[in-house]
């Protein structure tokens, strides 16, 4: 059995991560994602490649493929069953079957995306993940997570220490002054047409 650096990684690589797959797919989510990314990326220009950290079965990248038909996309996924389905979307060579903390970027992408993943990472590992997000980007980083001005942990589907809210984007920009905020917004779970899960998104651009 593969060993992971944190209990949170083992949690998502295991059965709970498999159960997550069935709860997070479908045409309604696809439509909501199309609406979401059309807004979150409206200020981004001339990006031709993307990597998603924690891509699951590819619901986000499917939306990106529809919005940007020529974009080259890669994905990182820790759960092997989810990665199997992600391969069907992106191709075997474009999927990294590993944890984010074990991922070693050997190239860069125009856009780096992480959506609903930082909230599930052990807080002690966040700076390492921030470093990899920025190191993987030539220009843009899009962070879409639960926001809170101060770090808090809340119960998640009956589990403790599995969901954390904080100002992820603010921490990235404090750590990397070259990352500058160019747009941000909020998606509400009661949106009558395109609900998302109360996600606050931040689009940052690397200024060198």
The H or E element containing residue 60 is: helix 59-67
Q: What's the distance, CA 101 to chain centroid? A: 14
- Given pLDDT bands bounded at 50, 70 and 90, which one contains residue 2? low
Residue written as tokens 């009661």? Answer: 190
Domain covering 7-206, topology = Rossmann fold (3.40.50)
**pLDDT exceeds cutoff 80 at 176:** yes
Tens of pLDDT along 15-70? 655 566 655 656 888 899 999 999 999 999 999 999 999 999 999 999 999 999 99
Residue 46, number of CB atoms within 10 A of its CB: 6
Bridge partners of residue 71, in order along the sequence: none
pLDDT at 155: 86
pLDDT at 127: 97
What residues does each domain of the chain span?
Answer: 7-206
Rounded to the nearest 10°, the torsion over CA 107, 112, 118, 120 is -70
Radius of gyration of the chain (CA): 16
């Amino acid at each position: 059995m593969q060993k992971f650096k944190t209990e949170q990684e083992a949690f998502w690589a295991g059965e709970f991560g498999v159960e997550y797959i069935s709860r997070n797919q479908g045409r309604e989510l696809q439509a909501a994602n199309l609406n979401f990314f059309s807004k979150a990326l409206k200020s981004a220009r001339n990006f031709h490649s993307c990597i998603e950290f924690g891509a699951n079965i590819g619901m986000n990248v499917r939306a990106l493929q529809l919005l940007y038909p020529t974009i080259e996309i890669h994905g990182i996924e820790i759960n092997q069953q989810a990665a199997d389905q992600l391969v069907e979307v992106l191709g075997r060579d474009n999927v990294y079957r590993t944890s984010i903390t074990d991922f070693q970027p050997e190239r860069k992408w125009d856009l780096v995306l992480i959506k609903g993943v930082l909230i599930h990472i052990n807080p002690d590992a966040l700076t390492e993940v921030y470093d990899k997000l920025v190191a993987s980007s030539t220009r843009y980083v899009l962070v879409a997570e639960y926001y809170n001005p101060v770090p808090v942990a809340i119960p998640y589907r009956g589990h403790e220490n599995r969901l954390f809210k904080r100002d992820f984007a603010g921490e990235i920009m404090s750590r990397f002054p070259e990352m500058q905020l160019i747009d941000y917004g909020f998606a509400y779970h009661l949106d009558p047409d395109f609900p998302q899960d109360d996600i606050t998104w931040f689009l940052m651009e690397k200024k060198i």
